[in-house]
Amino acid sequence: MFQEIIINVFLLLICYHSLKAYIKKYIRDEIISFQLYRSVICTFIALYSTIQILINWDKFWNIPTKYVDKHTEWVNILTLSYFISDIFTMICQKNKRVDLWIHHTFCLISLSLHSIFYSNPCIILNGVIMAEFMSAVSGLDAVAKYFKYGNILWWTKLYRCLVIILIRFPIWIMLIKFVLTTDMYYAAQVNCIIGSITMCSLDIYWLRLCITALQTQIY
For the segment 79-88, the average pLDDT, to the nearest whole number, is 95
CA distance linking residue 12 with residue 82, whole number of Å: 7
User: Percent helix, strand and coil across the chain, each rounded to 5?
Assistant: 85, 0, 15
Strand blocks (E) in the chain: none
Residues 6+ apart with CB under 8 A from 6: none
Which pLDDT value is given to residue 27? 83
Q: For residue 89, how many other CB atoms are within 10 A of its CB?
A: 20
One-character DSSP codes across 142-187: HHHHHHT-HHHHHHHHHHHHHHIIIIIHHHHHHHHHHHHHS---HH
Pick the closest to residue 152 from 210, 217, 212 (CA basis).
217
For the segment 175-198, the average pLDDT, to the nearest whole number, is 90
**How far is the CA of 173 from the CAs of 76, 78, 112, 159, 180, in angstroms?**
21, 25, 22, 20, 11
Who has greater pLDDT, 28 or 141?
A: 141
For the segment 190-213, the average pLDDT, to the nearest whole number, is 94
Q: Where are the domains of the chain?
A: 2-216
Residue 218 — pLDDT band, cuts 50, 70, 90? Answer: low
Question: Cα-atom radius of gyration of the chain, to the nearest Å?
Answer: 18
Side-chain-side CA neighbours of residue 188 (13 Å): 24
CA distance linking residue 38 with residue 20, whole number of Å: 12
pLDDT at 217 over 80: no
Question: With 0-12 CB in 10 A as exposed, 13-18 as middle and 19+ as buried, what is 28?
Answer: exposed
What is the amino acid identity at position 6? I
What mean pLDDT is reported for the chain?
A: 92
CA distance linking residue 65 with residue 20, whole number of Å: 38
Per cent of the chain over pLDDT 90 is 73
For the segment 156-174, the average pLDDT, to the nearest whole number, is 96
